Amino acid sequence: MAVLLLIFSFVLFHYIRYNLEAELHASLTKHAEYLLAKDKDLEHIVSRQKELLKKTLGIQASIVQNPRLKRLNSYFRIVHRKDGEYLLGYFPIKTQKRRYLRLEMDISQPMHMLKEVFRAIVLLNLLSMGLIIFYAYILSRMLIFPVTDFSQRLIRMNENLLETLRPEEFPIEFRPLARSINHLVTRIKNHYLYRKELFVGTAHELKTPLAVMKTRSQVALIKRKKSLKDLEKILHENIETIDAMDALIGQILQFGRDEGAQFDAAVEEDIVSFIQKKIGELQLLAHAQNKEISIRCTPTHLTMRFQPHLVDQILRNLIQNALRYTPEGSSLRIACRREGNEFLLSVEDEGPGIENGIDLFAPFRRSKDSPGAGLGLFLVRNAVEAMGGSITLRNRPDGKGAVALLRLPIEEEEPTAGFNVHLSFDKL
């Protein structure tokens, strides 16, 4: 801004100076034309009426022979003397070869005025610079204070004390940032909450079957006279319990692998073809259960950046979960399309739907009839959020099943390794 002010002042001063000199040149040229019009009496007027010309027109006239700068046209220059500044003009006399009418005009007063204008512009620039510096200082303090406040509040935060900010306490310009930080804090709080539930739930899910196995074994030891068939039954029950525990541990290990996959580099490829390929691999599983999977995507091709491992895990968990609740002879409908800068994918089943008031994305939260450990949708939610997307689960409007809706942002310019966070709960 200061540079623009200097440039503007420089241009303004030279514009004023140019117009002033042009006006003086025009005035001197007008006097010369008046004298040159009296070509026959020019010598007499110049030699005999010098004082009259000085008093009436304010000029001193003389005829000179071949000035230093040999020019065919009129020529002007400014000379500085002790008593002031003068404008000299040389005008060729057409009827007299190499002879020029020399006019001299005192321009001390206009030049003095020009110097005053220059001083005024310099003073104005200095005052403006001071105001700009002062304003910049005040503005920087105003900008730095909220940033410093943000920094201090974030420093004071830890996993045990995560407090949201009050946007109304900050300037209007910083309120969107405060809301974004609040959204991030909420996600962190949910992450710690779910992580805590995961650890506690894992301990509970493992401790209960271990206690059951222990009780069975103790009973078998106490009642040693049991038949071989009863002992085999106890062993088979223990093996089933171990298998369930192994499945649970496998899901927890999968959660750990998925968290590591969040840092995998994103690739740029056709996501529609990728989804169709993965669904084709799951068609065999559906046919084995006497169920069908139909897919409809518009457009048929869409190139975007995504992490294949995470998308694969999301598809497998959503489709396997939907197949589990879809009755035999029914179909599972999958649709995907682009909406603005988002890629939408929906998985719709024909099962009993979901129970209201239950957060099925939390660890170990499952429906009453669910045979799983309740980690599938938890893994899906973590993978989706790692890609900056969102996922919702709701009942169909006709009450004949549930719909899972996935939204992923599409990066078209300056793509990075991940996705920007964008949450939306619109219907597909």
CB neighbour class for 214 (10 Å; exposed up to 12, middle 13-18, buried from 19): exposed
Range of the domain at 6: 2-114
d(C-alpha 344, C-alpha 330), whole Å: 23
pLDDT at 336: 92
Among 91, 114, 137, the domain boundary falls at 114
Q: How many CB atoms lie under 10 A from the CB of residue 61?
A: 20
Identify the CATH number of the domain in which residue 16 sits.
3.30.450
**Is 346 among the domain residues?**
yes
Among 114, 133, 163, the domain boundary falls at 114
Structure tokens at 33: 């034309």
Position of tokens 């049991």?
226
**Is 135 among the domain residues?**
no
The total of structural domains in the chain comes to 2
> C-alpha angle 73/79/84, rounded to 5°?
135
d(C-alpha 304, C-alpha 284), whole Å: 28
**Is 51 among the domain residues?**
yes
Structure tokens at 63: 């005829």
CB neighbour class for 99 (10 Å; exposed up to 12, middle 13-18, buried from 19): middle
**Is 127 among the domain residues?**
no
d(C-alpha 355, C-alpha 192), whole Å: 25
**Is 243 among the domain residues?**
no
**Is 138 among the domain residues?**
no
Identify the CATH number of the domain in which residue 303 sits.
3.30.565.10
Among 80, 114, 148, the domain boundary falls at 114
pLDDT at 171: 74
Position of tokens 């001299």?
104
**Is 85 among the domain residues?**
yes
Render 138-173 in DSSP notation, one character per residue: HHHHHHHHHHHHHHHHHHH-BTTB-----GGGS-GG
Q: Which residues of the chain have pLDDT under 50?
A: 413-428
